[in-house]
Structure 1
């Protein structure tokens, strides 16, 4: 897997409230979070990033350029999708508008900061990925500085989508090397989860498991988008089993940590087994393994242009029919469908 480098909207009963980008005007850099709603603190990668990856040019930071943001808010916002991403939907499940991105904090008034803050940045991992982005440990460092002595409240969301493994694949040119790296990554993740609870003082921490990585278009493209890569999916399964064991050891009573299951709904919508079933999930996304935004080059990317400014990609007419937006990131419609599956678990977790 390459760099993983993820109003009011009603979707299957889920009501989503997202802050308009224009609201982040004015000043403000802190104050202790307060109010009746729980703030959300987000750590992770591009599945969760809502604008923290700086604009370093189209080749390095695709999400700041067309066609990203085409569905919402109809222009690029640094989200790796045609619209909203995982953070937006988790915030809705928690009952708050989307928290401000750390990069935009100085333009956000205090009432926005009371929602929490998003430290996730595209390309990051549990460990150093080589993509020159703050890993989760460094993101937690920023969180502690932002608290400025305040007692932490609310919910932490930790999103790990596979950059640690993609970096190993890029370096060693093989999925087998990434699978061998799983114990190292999970040990590192365990330490950061322990740190959030014991050192920072968070009492509610939500951590995602891995989606079926072998079903992302990056892996399905060599198969002409006809099937998933079984070895990459096996690696995701091993990561998830190891993470489950870590959480059982850290929190046997399941009071502090919630394993947010992204894997099961992803499988239901995109895995080969689903296409042969009579489940309605097979018709929700008629195009499961081919992305909406398709590069015309084998090593290209969504949004790529040549030196003359000519597009080196095509975009589908209806992203809602596609589960994936680009080679690794879901569409807004896909995230909305997945959120319907995980929202009840978040509600139950926060009620205890």
Structure 2
């Protein structure tokens, strides 16, 4: 039943403009699931695998810093709302005026918690030391170039869509790969959720009125984790999807705490529309019915990687010398072991824009805000 409803909503033809003119700009935060190029400015190593083809091969024809073969969920949402693809904030070729329709602060490898949290516990953070706090600080630095006063900035943000991630996954991926106990990593979750909540509150106080907050993906379905934590115990795997149960249970724990916190925030800020984006449910729905969504049966095998049962090898990753590439990325769910293909991003974006995997759907959130604005105006008068 869910799969049938999902298919009806998901299989949208992009770029179909939905609720065009509803939002004047998009501001995005997060990690590699949303990064549109910031990581290239931070790492500065154009020979890195993600800075080379086949990254970007499907849509852009070149690597852009996106961790996929083409567009991201964020890109499809921008297109559907009639807005341009979001520029990376650290793109030095741009000036403030070019960010009038939005900016992307997401950085691949970013964590919600500050790097000091992990250093104190002897946990190494790979790729970058950018946290959600750093991204919020960048946003505050940009804001004066977009508006002239606090009230002017509030007006600007009132008409903007705020994409809060995905963020939080790297707070867990790094310690889990470093073989920290699940009990220890689980103890991080309340801190991660509190940090996300604090950032949401800060943005609402600045004037944001519509915020989309994704949960984390089902980590147990990543080719990387399936390769690193292979076991002969069939009970460790979900019979329907083949994903690792214990990792997906962990993702569910994070998402349940995040959803509860968002409900609290809705009560504290009734004038704001806070959308929960259920990446977990969207991905599991597709994995349970891959053919219905146009995918092949080897859903957990990476399109681009270094061989093995899941085509993932930590020492021979996508884009490095000797990688292997599937024939049809559009038939694959997983791109490089951790990230998804453009085809997956397109379908999930449809499910967020029109439902059923966003509550409320992004296209409906605009209507809700129109009602709130109208009620507020009448009360003020």
CA shift at 1:301, angstroms? 4.3
Whether 1:77 and 2:64 are equivalent positions in the alignment is yes
1:167 to 165, 170, 174: 174
2:251 to 218, 230, 236: 236
CA shift at 1:75, angstroms? 1.0
CA shift at 1:168, angstroms? 2.2
Q: Is the Cα–Cα contact under 8 Å of residues 40 and 91 in structure 1 kept in the other structure?
A: yes
> Partners of 2:30 and 2:88 in 1: how far apart?
12
Q: Is the Cα–Cα contact under 8 Å of residues 175 and 231 in structure 1 kept in the other structure?
A: no
> Partners of 2:16 and 2:142 in 1: how far apart?
24
Count of residue pairs brought into register by the alignment: 312
1:316 to 326, 329, 339: 326
1:193 to 200, 213, 226: 200
Higher-helix-fraction structure:
2
1:268 to 274, 285, 290: 285
Matches within 5 A, 1:125-164: 125-129=111-115, 130-131=125-126, 132-148=128-144, 150=147, 151=153, 152-153=156-157, 154-159=160-165, 160=167, 162-164=169-171
Partner of 1:289: 300
Partner of 2:219: 213
> Partners of 1:108 and 1:288 in 2: how far apart?
42
Partner of 1:280: 292
TM-score by length of 2: 0.75
Can you list the C-alpha shifts for 1:183-225, whole angstroms capped at 9, x where unaligned? 1111111111111112x22111111111111101112235499
> Partners of 1:336 and 1:330 in 2: how far apart?
10
Distance 1:260 1:194, change over 3 A: same
Mean Cα deviation higher: 174-183 or 44-53: 174-183
What's the Cα RMSD here? 2.7
Partner of 2:104: 118
Q: Is the Cα–Cα contact under 8 Å of residues 293 and 316 in structure 1 kept in the other structure?
A: yes
**Any idea what SS the aligned residue of 2:91 has?**
helix
> Partners of 1:172 and 1:202 in 2: how far apart?
39
Q: Is the Cα–Cα contact under 8 Å of residues 318 and 336 in structure 2 kept in the other structure?
A: no
Distance 1:17 1:96, change over 3 A: farther
Q: Is the Cα–Cα contact under 8 Å of residues 42 and 158 in structure 1 kept in the other structure?
A: yes
Unpaired runs of 5+ in structure 1? 1-10, 19-34, 306-310
Distance 1:291 1:172, change over 3 A: closer
Matches within 5 A, 1:49-68: 49-54=35-40, 55-57=43-45, 61-68=48-55
> Partners of 1:197 and 1:173 in 2: how far apart?
35
Partner of 1:14: 13
Unpaired runs of 5+ in structure 2? 1-9, 116-124, 148-152, 232-236, 355-360, 369-381
Whether 1:48 and 2:19 are equivalent positions in the alignment is no
**Any idea what SS the aligned residue of 1:96 has?**
coil
Mean Cα deviation higher: 207-216 or 131-140: 131-140
